[in-house]
Amino acid sequence: MTGTAWPTLPPLTSRPWSRISKVRFCIYLSAKSWVDEVMSNYPTVTIKDKVVDVNRLINPERRIILSNVYPSISHAEFENQIKTLGFTTVSKMFFVKASTEGDDYAHLLSFRRQIYMQNDDRTALFPTT
């Protein structure tokens, strides 16, 4: 463990856990309060000398993907426009990698970009009817 030691969770707080794709595993906790405590106090864990980030299964932020955007338009221009519209960003904007096979093309970027915003802004982006 890095920093403060992880809390010892009572047996009933830990629900099923399982390995999932990409060499990850998922642990369900019985209460949101346990999730909040782990996320705020223990953002990383060290397993076999490798530091691993702890993430929520359901991200409270909203991921926004912009498609068909020319690469000549800077990230800063988009971020400034988003903030001008009153939205709160929680990450920097970045290119989404192109879906290519092989290491020779791993450096290629797509015409898509993504950014994370506070979930409070969700209703303004996608009004319900």
Q: Which domains does the chain have, with CATH numbers?
A: 1-58 (no CATH), 62-125 (3.30.70)
43 contacts: CB under 8 Å, gap ≥ 6: 53, 54
Structure tokens at 60: 């409270």
Q: How confident is the model at residue 22 (pLDDT cuts 50, 70, 90)?
A: low
Give the end-to-end CA distance of the chain in Å, rounded to a whole number: 47
- The predicted pLDDT at position 1 comes to 40
What DSSP designation does 121 have? G
- The predicted pLDDT at position 28 comes to 77
More confident: 96 or 6: 96
More confident: 110 or 23: 110
Q: SS3 for 123?
A: helix
- The predicted pLDDT at position 123 comes to 47
- The predicted pLDDT at position 129 comes to 40
Given a cut of 70, whether residue 2 has pLDDT beyond it is: no
